[in-house]
Amino acid sequence: MTRPRRSILICPGNNPRMVARAATEPADEVILDLEDAVAADPEAKRRARSELVPLLESIDFGGRTVAVRINSVDGPLALQDLLELVPRVGPRISTLVVPKVSRPSQVGFLEHCLDALEPAGSPRLGLEIQIEDPAGLEAVSELARCSPRLEALIFGPGDFAAAMGMPQTAIGAPVEDYPGDVWLLPLFRMAVAARARGLQAIDGPFSRLSDPEGLEAACRRAAALGLDGKWAIHPEQLETINRLLRPSASQVARARAVLAQVASLGGASRLGQEMVDEANRRMAEAVLARWEGGPE
């Protein structure tokens, strides 16, 4: 299933004020987080689960996709998350976001659990998996085809930087003293794997709220690579993401001109200072599909 995911707002799943606000923001998807946004001790995780259930039962998220980020499968917390959430509020969730996925067997474990726990007659939960370490990036092509429940691959720059030993503490920001864009290769590699399997490719968060220019640059890069969307960690980032993860007015006008030219003349012909043909037509159709694929 393909859902709109241009802008994705993530917030602590046990914070009633933030969750209620997220349900009113202009995001395509809201992720309620039980992983990094919750303290790591088991008691805090247990409380967060129990506090999330009534929020899911009571808050109307409108037409937004609702996801829950569970804890990593490599440990007991993910199973505890599934046992608490799926039988009780599974039908109110669209997908589960799974962090730190590096092996297909981790996804297979989730599939077996969901098959056993989902209420009879309820829609099947989708999965969005995060690529957050070198092993995950190495296995990304295999991961992209490992489950029919998969809907999206998500790049996690924070944990990826930590796993690589990069001198970085700002999530998703440029790496100082590196002569280029350090995130280009992993993002594009993930995007190719996603496209090859009909999945969506999503860029992770940009943590510097005081750096709107940095956020804009990250959004423009994601759009240039053909990614479908980007995470926001604060509602104030949504306007930039919604605006830039969509073709500009000039790009749309050019695409329409290309379509009109090819429809009129067929084959190869000159449009201004460019030759256009059937390949350009397909490119123009892809531009317009992105333009028409989400709200204004």
- For residue 36, how many other CB atoms are within 10 A of its CB? 15
Averaged pLDDT score across all residues of the chain:
92
Q: What are the pLDDT digits (tens) for 62-73?
A: 999 999 999 999
The pLDDT value recorded for residue 249 is 75
The pLDDT value recorded for residue 141 is 98
Length of the chain: 296
Q: What is the CATH architecture of 7-246?
A: Alpha-Beta Barrel (3.20)
Q: What are the pLDDT digits (tens) for 11-51?
A: 999 999 999 999 999 999 999 999 999 999 999 999 999 99
pLDDT at 151 over 70: yes
C-alpha closest to that of 212 among 190, 238, 193:
238
pLDDT at 8 over 60: yes
The reported pTM is 0.90
Q: Which residue has the higher pLDDT, 119 or 263?
A: 119
What are the structural domain ranges in the chain?
7-246, 250-292
In sequence order, the 6+-apart residues with CB closer than 8 A to the CB of 135 are 102, 103
pLDDT at 7 over 90: yes
pLDDT at 295 over 90: no
Distances (CA, A) of 131 to 64, 156, 273: 24, 6, 41
C-alpha closest to that of 135 among 167, 98, 172, 103:
103
The pLDDT value recorded for residue 291 is 67
Q: What are the pLDDT digits (tens) for 206-226?
A: 999 999 999 999 999 999 999
> First CA to last CA across the chain, in angstroms?
22
The amino acid at 154:
I
Backbone φ and ψ of 67, nearest 5°: -130, 155
Backbone Cα Rg of the chain? 20
Residue 264's pLDDT band (cuts 50, 70, 90): confident
